[in-house]
Structure 1
Amino acid sequence: MGTAHQSPTDSTLKSQSAMKRYNRCRDREHKRKRFQATEALLDLQKSSPDVTERTHPVQLEGEVQNDSGNVNTPDNEPEVPLVAMMRTEIQRLISENHELKERLKKGIFSPDNLKDDNDTVKYYTGLDYHTLMTIYNFVKDYVPERANSGITKFEKVMLVLMKLRLNLGMQDLAYRFKVSKSCVSKIFLDVIHILYVKLKLFILWPEREALQMAMPMEFQQYFGVKVSVIIDCFDIFIERPSNLLARAETWSHYKHHNTVKYLIGITPQGAVSFLSKAWGGTTSDKYITENCGLLSKLLPGDVIVTGRGFDRESGGLFCAEVEIPAFTQGKSQLSPVDIETTRKIARTRIHVERVIGLVRNKFKILQNTLPIEYLHCSTDCIPTIDKITTLCCALTNMCRSVVPFD
């Protein structure tokens, strides 16, 4: 039999077809490796923060960089445009991720972010930036800081001030500071105690000589330089206690709500100089005045300006004079002298009401109904509600006074 011979043309065609198949297989394998390398690089970026610090271009597996900076494959093939675009995009994402992480580390409520934004500081704390930083530097050594807590000392102080200023919910604060709700509650109780201990000293009873030297002209015109304090009481709403006795002691017939009552005293210059502890809403103003410790601070000859709910005899035990508006009970009308005296007292006593309004408006936590847990005493035998009210008055003393000097 004869042997069939292939023509040169058929042999060439088969050889070219085999070469094309080989090239296609090689390209598919190479693309598969490049795809796997890209996926591995992205996975590494997610798991390792060190990748964000790379400054050299991303180089995939099996690639070499020539002298001109172009990347070639093992077969000296220049990279395709799609891979070049992927490389550029990966490098951009790495840089952007690194920048965002650095920005996140600083946080929104950090000294660097707030130092040029005084309006934001006033909105969240009621203070200006310099006052805020003075307070922080004064207490920062006493604020606890745990490793990996995710919140700085400055943010803890800001958390408490934001709670006092805006009365934000615990869950809201947890979202803002990226911690748990239970962590926010613990931070608030811990830091409010530190701020109370360190800042309660700003509620100071001044010396008589200091008062007389800075006595506003309005008081000098009506009472000379003898006025030492203007007093009044204000209420804070609380939740309804479950205990019947506590419910009765805190019920205010005037407010028609369960409240605690404070006696506040201000100097003629408008600074809070005295704040009593919390009393039940049913307690009379006279009883609080006689039992809160205010009278023991008076000196003979001092003048107290107050309202009709108080008693002239209270200050008499300490040789002090109590200025109270005249009563119309049993009289058809007041005498001209009583009318003029009442007008003078009303013009000066209005300042204590303005200070109470300033404290309430500046710190909205005092405008709302506080939880009954704030009335419970901690290990230092001081209820949280006393710490809150004292701190609000002390912070108000650091702001501009509402009483004009002239």
Structure 2
Amino acid sequence: MNEIQTAHDHDYSVTLVTSEMAGELAVSYEELQMKVDELQHQLETMQLQCRFGLQRIAGSDENIRFYTRFASYKHLMAFWELIEPAAKTKMVRITRAKVANFEELTQTRTTKLAPIDELLLFLMHLSVGLLLRDLGERFGIHRTTASRIIVTWSHFLYILLGSIRLWIPKEEVKALLPPEFSAFPDTQVILDCTELNCQTPSSLLLQSEVFSQYKSHTTLKAMIGIAPHGAITFVSGLYAGFISDREIFKLSGIIKCLTSDTAIMVDKGFLVDDLVPCKVYRPAFRSRNSQMSREDVQHTQSIARLRVHVERCIRRVKENKLFDKPIPLSVCGSIDQLFSVACFLVNYQNGPLVKSWSVKC
């Protein structure tokens, strides 16, 4: 008979884990976990250093002020909370694709940047005047993508902030009237013009239209109005630098906002008395053959002390470094929107023009 070989059972040795070994394993696990956490922190730090974003400057109000013109991180986030719902639902993105209708345009793919970082990129372009290549390197995107983000956000903020009523009813203006305006209690708006240098066109005809005698340079010109308490309440479009203050006033559309029981405060160049239904406060002119009377001098000084606030407000707008250098002709199609957005943002970025007005306003 064939012998049947049976497999013999084997005893496998089992190592018993003692309490001492368990303690050593626990300690080793904790050390490894701490090492993993440390490496994770180092990785996140390196990622922040390699790519610019809001979180990188959030801890410094000084950096927030430099890059965005907002007074602090708290101010910036308060503004973001106001616009975030519209940014998620109503923003129309500019892309390279040629689309047939609005519905297709609103469904285009977004960029890899978070929406708030896109806003930061736009504000950095406006506030610091950074070039597209610089912005692309900082945010880790192509410069053409940075360009589309800037155009998208300028259009979005122009529509969104421009749809909010800037012009304040006369009752509200009177309720917020600073005591310094007690001699001019019916003042509705203080107006002044400002100019931006632009690239000189090659066409002699265009040169003559945009050349400003006041600046001795080719410029674009706009009119800005503030309420007596300092808020910007009117922004005109940009016009060729050759145009006069009176003509901008006529074309801007502000006349239809004025009523007979209000008044405007303007500089000497605004000869608009025959255009408006309201009172005009303007510094007095000195006759060639006679000195100004004591009353005219006091009147002129009083108006000058109050008109300086519109000049200070305009200076806030022009603190945006984008306007420091001549505007290239290639961006003249979008500079009107960029300038208007810069004016709209002043009402959100800064505190009152005069500190003593902060409680009342």
Question: Which TM-score applies when normalising by structure 2?
Answer: 0.77
Q: Distance in 2 between matches of 1:387 and 1:156?
A: 17
| Per-residue deviation, 1:121 | 1.3
| Per-residue deviation, 1:372 | 1.0
The DSSP-based 3-state class of the residue aligned with 1:313 is coil
Q: Distance in 1 between matches of 2:212 and 2:201?
A: 13
Which residue number in structure 2 is paired with residue 16 of structure 1? none
Q: Distance in 2 between matches of 1:200 and 1:109?
A: 29
Which residue number in structure 1 is paired with residue 297 of structure 2? 339
Q: Is the 8 A contact 2:237 2:336 kept in 1?
A: yes
**Which has the bigger relative contact order, CA under 8 A and spacing at least 6?**
2
1:254 partnered with 2:214? yes
Deviates more, 1:181-190 or 1:129-138: 129-138
Deviates more, 1:270-279 or 1:328-337: 328-337
Which residue number in structure 1 is paired with residue 179 of structure 2? 217
The DSSP-based 3-state class of the residue aligned with 2:192 is strand
Which residue number in structure 1 is paired with residue 352 of structure 2? 401
Which residue number in structure 2 is paired with residue 228 of structure 1? 188
Which residue number in structure 2 is paired with residue 170 of structure 1? 132
Bigger Rg, structure 1 or 2: 1
| Per-residue deviation, 1:99 | 4.7
The DSSP-based 3-state class of the residue aligned with 2:273 is helix
Q: Distance in 2 between matches of 1:147 and 1:93?
A: 38
Percentage of pairs with the same residue: 29
Q: Deviations over 1:293-325 (max 9, x none)?
A: 11110011211111110114244x42x011111
1:285 partnered with 2:230? no
Which residue number in structure 1 is paired with residue 340 of structure 2? 390
Counterparts in 2 of 1:236-251, with a 5 A limit?
236-251=196-211
| Per-residue deviation, 1:111 | 4.9
Q: Which of 37, 57, 61 pairs up with 1:118?
A: 61
| Per-residue deviation, 1:207 | 0.7
| Per-residue deviation, 1:355 | 0.9
Which residue number in structure 2 is paired with residue 43 of structure 1? none
Q: Distance in 1 between matches of 2:176 and 2:53?
A: 38
Q: Is the 8 A contact 1:203 1:393 kept in 2?
A: no
| Per-residue deviation, 1:119 | 2.2
Q: Deviations over 1:225-279 (max 9, x none)?
A: 2000110100001111233332221111111111000011110001110010011
Q: Distance in 1 between matches of 2:152 and 2:56?
A: 25
Give unmatched runs, 5+ long, in structure 1. 1-65, 69-90, 377-383
Q: Distance in 2 between matches of 1:304 and 1:253?
A: 26
Q: Which of 115, 129, 140 pairs up with 2:73?
A: 129
Q: Deviations over 1:84-135 (max 9, x none)?
A: xxxxxxx999987755544455675545444433222112101121232233
Q: Deviations over 1:41-87 (max 9, x none)?
A: xxxxxxxxxxxxxxxxxxxxxxxxx999xxxxxxxxxxxxxxxxxxx
Which residue number in structure 2 is paired with residue 373 of structure 1? 330
Counterparts in 2 of 1:6-405, with a 5 A limit?
99-103=41-45, 109-127=52-70, 128-137=72-81, 138-139=83-84, 140-141=87-88, 142-143=90-91, 149-201=111-163, 204-220=166-182, 222-223=183-184, 225-315=185-275, 317-318=276-277, 320-361=278-319, 363-376=320-333, 384-398=334-348, 399-403=350-354, 404-405=356-357
Which residue number in structure 2 is paired with residue 17 of structure 1? none
Q: Is the 8 A contact 1:215 1:268 kept in 2?
A: yes
Q: Distance in 1 between matches of 2:110 and 2:246?
A: 52
Q: Deviations over 1:142-189 (max 9, x none)?
A: 455976944221211100001111111111111111111211111111
Instruction: Check 1:214–1:93 CA distance in 2 against 1; reply closer, same or farther (3 A cut).
Output: closer
> How many residues in Structure 1 have an aligned counterpart in Structure 2?
307
The DSSP-based 3-state class of the residue aligned with 1:262 is strand
The one-letter amino acid of 2:68's match is T
Give unmatched runs, 5+ long, in structure 2. 1-14, 18-32, 94-106
Q: Distance in 2 between matches of 1:67 and 1:100?
A: 39
Q: Distance in 2 between matches of 1:131 and 1:314?
A: 43
Q: Distance in 1 between matches of 2:156 and 2:231?
A: 22
Q: Distance in 2 between matches of 1:148 and 1:218?
A: 50
The one-letter amino acid of 2:117's match is E
The one-letter amino acid of 1:282's match is F
The DSSP-based 3-state class of the residue aligned with 1:274 is strand
